[in-house]
Structure 1
Amino acid sequence: MSSFSSLGLDERILKSVAELGWSTLTDVQSQAIPLALDGKDVLVRAKTGSGKTAAYGIPLIQRVLSARESSTSSVVRALVLVPSKELCQQTSRMLKSLSSGCSKVVRIVELSTHTSVAVQRPIILEKPDIVVGTPSRVVAHLQAKNLVIRDSLEMLVIDEADLVFSFGYEDDLTVIIEYLPKIYQAFLMSATLSKDTNKLGRLVLHNPVTLDVDERQAENDDSQLTQYHIRCEADDKFLLIYALLKLKLVRGKSLIFVNLIDRCYRLKLFLEQFSIAACVLNSELPVNSRMHIVDEFNRGIYDYIIASDERLDKQQQAATRTKKTKKQRCDTHFVSNCSTNRRCMWLLCVASRKDKEYGIARGIDFQGVENVINFDFPPTVDAYVHRVGRTARGKECGTALSLVCPGEEEGRLREAVKRLSKGEVTADSVKPYQFKMSEIDGFRYRVMDGLRRVTQTAVREARLKEIRTEIINSEKLKAHFQDNPRDLQVLRHDRNLHPLPVDEHLKHVPSYLVPAPLKASFKSDMPNGKRKFLMRGFRANQTKGSRRKSDPLRSFKFSKQERQGKRAKLE
């Protein structure tokens, strides 16, 4: 099956698909949708951007429309569980787009966690057809008896299934299973298959059909995704990222991944020294701010996003728990010293807590990403697959570049190449990028000059400034500030954060520092008028007459008669 019309779908669904501009089925859709329409449980492994959301979304809507023809009662017929708030909103938007032709018949509700359970209660009591939410929020509504699914639920979907357990939802899923009916159809969608996925499948699936679509797409992926790596020292990463961006070796919309929030702001402040604008995306920002950044990036407002991918494996979480706890105490102490209002300090401390449902490397629909740069190499191979999956989505091409330090990161790179070469993950092997460090040594003094100014204090101040700004902009605390306007005034008049000094000469790349192979194609970003003005002033100062006139010791003259007159007066 190559077209949606061959699936026997409702005309209203076909109309919605046509409005989205989809003409042909992807591999995962052509295999999964017929099985889902036949009522079978399905476990799907397919790469990011292959159309998994539509693969289960279309059968959901088709089944709701069929049930509506035989019964007019309003009940919850489908439940979609996703691991993060961002993916919750994205999935809801996609389902609403697929049901735009029947929006008056099919009602979809998103249980976003930035609103309280009490606020969502009236919406849930209206019994929508499809509910989308994170497991923790669904459990809250089930226990509050707002959501009733035991007698009405027909379909259950768990998207990004391999990530559900790692986000700490194991207990929540156990509670949800107790509320499920005895008979229902289930879907598990994932980019990778793991032990957690198999464990989850045993809990919710009944004689499932397993689809591993990645094996069929391996040959096509070779031409779409190109992967490189550069071996370098830790400090040379900043030199490389400067050269790649300022010399325009990396062009187009790019995602730059780091492993920690502090690294996120350190890299942002470093790039600001050279007038390179970038957005920061991490778990400390409110969910509304995170989604707004993604939307603006998709619209082409920003070219670079520095994202902190903080989801580590369980061993690394246990190893870094003590260090993180100590750092959180330091941040709290710093906030308490800067703030003059206890309530204001409390707001800052609450906002600085990491969102456990944050996940930016998985599932989020970044559109038009041409490059993914791993400034810090990911801790696991699966994390690497999900990061590079942000580019080369669908039929588009993309490039992934990883900066690798000798030692631990190099070991993880070898592990990734070993797995990729076995065909366990759909991607090409990671090739070495042909780049000579000697050609950019001329920029080293500039980079070190800018890096010295990005101190730990500057990073902490930038981090708190970002939190304060986003609290003001977020709708989450709008009601609190309306009831307590003095809190908003104190928050805005907190300690002023002075920006780091930016030298004028660091904004531009002088032509004499450009590597020889790039001089023919590279154009200096210094304005022509400014360059001519500087050269004219330089030449004027080099003329002999102007130098003599400007030097009082050379232009001073004293005649013989004046000397005799001065001597007579002294006598």
Structure 2
Amino acid sequence: MTKFTDLGLAEPLLKALAAEGYETPTPIQAQAIPHILKGRDLLGAAQTGTGKTAAFSLPMLHRLLGKPRQMPQRAVRVLILSPTRELAAQIETSIRTYAQFTTLRSTVIFGGVPVGKQIRALGEKVDILVATPGRLLDLVDQRAVSLREIEFLVLDEADQMLDLGFIHALRRIATLIPKERLTLLFSATMPKPIREIASAYLTDPVEVAVTPVATTAEKIDQRVIFTEQGDKPALLAKTLNVPELERAIVFTRTKHGADKVVRQLGQSGIEAAAIHGNKSQGQRERALGGFRDGSLRILVATDIAARGIDVDGVSHVVNYDLPNVPETYVHRIGRTARAGAAGLAIAFCTPEERGDLAAIEKLTGVKPTPIGEVPYWDGRTPKKPQQNRGGRGQQQARPQGQGRPQGQQGKRSEQGQRPEHGGHNRNHAGGAPRPERHERPRNPERAPRPEAATQRKEGASAKEGLGGVAFLQQRTQQPRTNGARRRAR
């Protein structure tokens, strides 16, 4: 079995690994580190929780130690791009741990916090910069950091960067760094757009894939509970009230949904905190800090945190809402069973989410074990019932030949509207039947033509394509039949 001491890493790095108790590299580390030490671009595919950070950090630190440089002010040698704040902070913490016995320095920048402290940090000697794309470009525009001396470019979780819309930022960053560099791209999934980015950013890369794309960890026990949407709050409280639960992450689809789940759990006497994009950086750090030190056992999160939470001891992951994208499910449940541990992933599935569950099963090749009675499903996603909003045209259908109710007839007579075809004419006060309009028009010359109704319908359908002025012009050119109709009455 390969050990870190067999990979040829520098002594300060091996000392740091020994201090942390790391002896044996993971598969992605054992395969990637030798290629990076040789100076090859690398395209790595591995699911979350397999040690990708050390796979690119250790050989990168080794090469920096072997070629010390005197850098210009505000210039850095390594740029590591991350899609989320949490993941960026996590990467920088790991790099600081591996470089604790060296003179190499690192810092992290991301949005959501005041920029002044980050600018001051970049003014000092910094070798390695971990950043989110948006804040990095802001500081580049302010000339707080220079990318002209970059030797290493690392794109971590590249597929999530695409999901969050960072492609334009990545293209601009690529124009600001030297072409002569070592580029490493790591991703949990490898869709076609990632292949296109790899071909544009990497030169003759080595491909390393330790697990099939979108494969879940083997030690995750996946289960599903079929339920209704209104029953989810009580079901979640029951699921989290088990003695074997150490730490649990509950994933929701929306930010509002995460806050709502926290309130509902609080009503059941379960303390929880939410983490999502609308939370301030201080709130997010406090929630994650409490979750890591064990003072908070339940964390409710959206998908923005699906790859940014690296906490040991997460025993349960609950998909309160199934994700629309099947790959997201893989990242969510990857928060448990990390570093070789076992974990339990439970998914709540409503009838409307059956299609999402089928897509997840097709992608992963794993069918979660049902808990409780499984309702019948014909393989189709049921449509939501149409809501009756009232209004005209939604009256109950009457059997053919049956007249309008008496109350409605009286109402129509009071309004003076025309009777139904085939019905009797209204009577005058003297009891004499009222003559038909076409028999005694007061102004025969201006009586409405039979085809007037058809013309009006055509004009009404055509007005949707006319502008305001054109529509008024059309109205002025039509014969004025409304007044004639009123006089005919």
Q: TM-score range by the shorter chain?
A: 0.7 to 0.9
AA at the equivalent of 2:61: I
Q: Residue 417 of structure 1 aligns with which residue? A: 361
**1:284-330 CA-partner distances (Å, limit 9, x unpaired):** 11112212211211111111112233xxxxxxxxxxxxxxxxxxxxx
CA contact (8 A) 1:81 1:159 kept: yes
Aligned to 1:377: 322
> Partner amino acid for 1:363?
G
State whether residues 160 and 363 of structure 1, in contact with CA within 8 Å, keep that contact through their aligned partners in structure 2: no
5+ residue gaps, structure 1, are 310-358, 422-427, 438-571
Partner of 1:271: 265
The alignment partner of 1:165 has SS state of helix
Structure 2 partner of 1:283:
277
Q: Deviations over 1:66-88 (max 9, x none)?
A: 111xx444652111011111111
- 1:355 matched to which residue of 2? none
Residue aligning to 2:369: 431
Give the counterpart letter for 2:221 in structure 1. Answer: T
Distance 1:203 1:24 in 2: 34
Q: Secondary structure at the match of 2:338?
A: coil
Deviations 1:144-185 (A, max 9, x none): 3332232x2111001111011221212211211111112111
RMSD: 2.2
For residue 401 of structure 1, give the secondary structure of its aligned residue in structure 2. Answer: strand
**Corresponding residue for residue 123 of structure 1:** 121
What's the CA shift string for 1:39-71, capped at 9, x where partnerless?
111111111110000000111211111111xx4
Letter in 1 for 2:109: L
Q: Which residue number corresponds to residue 187 of structure 2?
A: 190
CA contact (8 A) 1:86 1:287 kept: no
Contact 2:113 2:281 in 1 (8 A): no
In the other structure, the counterpart of 1:19 is 19
SS across alignment from 2:340 = coil
Paired residue for 1:49?
A: 49
Letter in 1 for 2:153: L
Partner of 1:342: none
**TM alignment of 1:173-188, pairs within 5 A:** 173-188=170-185
- Partner Cα distance (2:172, 2:159) in 1: 18
Task: Give the match for residue 424 of structure 1.
Answer: none
> Residues of 2 paired with 1:217 and 1:263: CA distance?
26
Q: Does 1:84 align with 2:79?
A: no
> C-alpha separation between the residues in 2 aligned to 1:236 and 1:378?
19
Tell me, in whole angstroms, the C-alpha distance in 1 between the residues paired with 2:336 and 2:147: 38
Contact 2:82 2:157 (C-alpha < 8 Å) held by counterparts: yes
Distance 1:217 1:122 in 2: 41
CA distance in 1 between partners of 2:236 and 2:373 (Å): 12
1:149 is aligned to 147
Alignment correspondent of 2:107:
109
Per the alignment, do residues 123 and 256 of structure 1 end up closer, same or farther by CA in structure 2, a change over 3 Å counting? closer
Secondary structure of 2:229's match? Answer: coil
Structure 1 segments, 4+ long, off by >6 Å, are none
How many residues are aligned here?
373
Q: Any residues of structure 2 matched to 1:292-311 within 5 Å, and which?
A: 292-309=286-303
Is the contact between residue 250 and residue 371 of structure 1 (CA under 8 Å) also seen in structure 2?
no
| Residues 304 and 116 (structure 1), Cα distance of their counterparts in 2 relative to 1, 3 Å cut | closer
Asked whether the 8 Å contact 2:214–2:330 carries over to 1, the reply is no
- Which residue number in structure 2 is paired with residue 368 of structure 1? 313
Determine which structure has greater relative contact order: mean sequence separation of CA pairs < 8 Å that are 6+ residues apart, divided by chain length.
1
Q: What SS does the aligned partner of 1:270 have?
A: helix
Post-superposition Cα deviations, 1:456-493, rounded to whole Å, max 9, x if no partner, equal xxxxxxxxxxxxxxxxxxxxxxxxxxxxxxxxxxxxxx
Q: For residue 216 of structure 1, report the CA deviation from its aligned partner.
A: 11
Q: Which runs of 5+ in 2 are unaligned?
A: 376-489
Question: What residue is the counterpart of 1:3 in the other structure?
Answer: 3
Give the deviation of 1:400 after TM superposition: 0.5
Q: Could you tell me how far apart the structure 1 residues matched to 2:289 and 2:267 are?
A: 26
Per the normalisation by structure 2, the TM-score is 0.72
SS at match of 1:101: coil
Report how far residue 109 of structure 1 moved: 1.6
| Counterpart in the other structure of 2:224 | 229
**Take 2:168 and 2:374, find their aligned partners in 1: how far apart are those partners?**
51
Q: In structure 2, what residue type is equivalent to 1:208?
A: P
Aligned to 1:241: 236
Measure, in 1, the Cα distance between the counterparts of 2:6 and 2:333.
Answer: 33
CA change 1:435–1:19 in 2 (3 A) is farther
Q: In 2, Cα distance between the equivalents of 1:23 and 1:199?
A: 36
Bigger Cα Rg: 2
Residues 257, 145 of structure 1: alpha-carbon distance in 2 compared, 3 angstrom cutoff: same
